Amino acid sequence: MERKAIVVLSGGQDSTTCLFWAIERFGKENVAAVGFDYGQRHKTELECAQNICDEAGIEYEVIPTPIINQLSANSLTRDDIPVEEEKPEGAPPNTFVEGRNLLFLSYAAIYAKTHGATDLVTGVCETDFSGYPDCRDIFVKSLNVTLNLAMDYNFVIHTPLMWINKAQTWEMADKLGVLDLVYNKTLTCYNGVMGEGCGHCPACTLRRRGYEEFMEMKKCTK
Ligand code: ZN
């Protein structure tokens, strides 16, 4: 039996790259994606994800999770909390939503099981670790065991970006033949600007530096 995969897709660079990674690995007909509407300030994220899935011919379902907004206040969900230009030393940035990946992956697992899928794909990454404990490899492995026990099921959580940096993520998109799509049609910016973004928030800075590094790598290998 062919395995089916559910990709957690936010419409950003990382999860979009993971979507195409999953399509290559599992075959388009075996991949679907889910996103979460938790009251994020920028609904454009979900629109980006929907457009990307339409283009890829993949089913996309948005799961409403307003509880996350209700439980925590931060700059991804609240207009009155501005995005920090620099991340504070030794503390998670104020875009941090406590336990978000724990919840997202758990919801995705429930969705997967009810849709006959065993494999979950998420773009979490430990390399650019910015203080999100539930993006760490050890957490994902631990949750994988917990989900299997919770639902008596053999989930496999894939984290194709776990040990690579932003430049290598661009490289992966390039190898998958979706560099232009990821560059122009994803939304990573904390200020809600698609593609190249606002240019000055921490997400834009990380994305741009990675892209520049990737272009350097590409020049050297030509
Ligand atoms: Zn930005």
**Domain ranges (residues) in the chain:** 5-165
pLDDT at 61: 97
How far away, in angstroms, is 189 Cα from ligand 1 center? 4
pLDDT at 180: 98
pLDDT at 130: 64
Which residues of the chain, if any, have pLDDT below 70? 73-96, 128-131, 222
pLDDT at 105: 97
pLDDT at 132: 83
Share of the chain above pLDDT 70, in %: 86
| CATH no., domain 5-165 | 3.40.50.620
Output the 3-class SS for the chain: CCCCEEEECCCCHHHHHHHHHHHHHHCHHHEEEEEEECCCCCCHHHHHHHHHHHHHCCEEEEEECCHHHHHCCCCCCCCCCCCCCCCCCCCCCCCCCCCHHHHHHHHHHHHHHHCCCCEEECCCCCCCCCCCHHHCHHHHHHHHHHHHHHHCCCCEEECCCCCCCHHHHHHHHHHCCCHHHHHHHCCCCCCCCCCCCCCCCHHHHHHHHHHHHHHHHHHHHC
pLDDT at 95: 55
How far away, in angstroms, is 138 Cα from ligand 1 center? 29
Instruction: Spell out which residues have Cβ within 5 A of ligand 1, the ion.
Output: 189, 191, 197-198, 201, 204
This prediction's pTM: 0.89
pLDDT at 107: 97
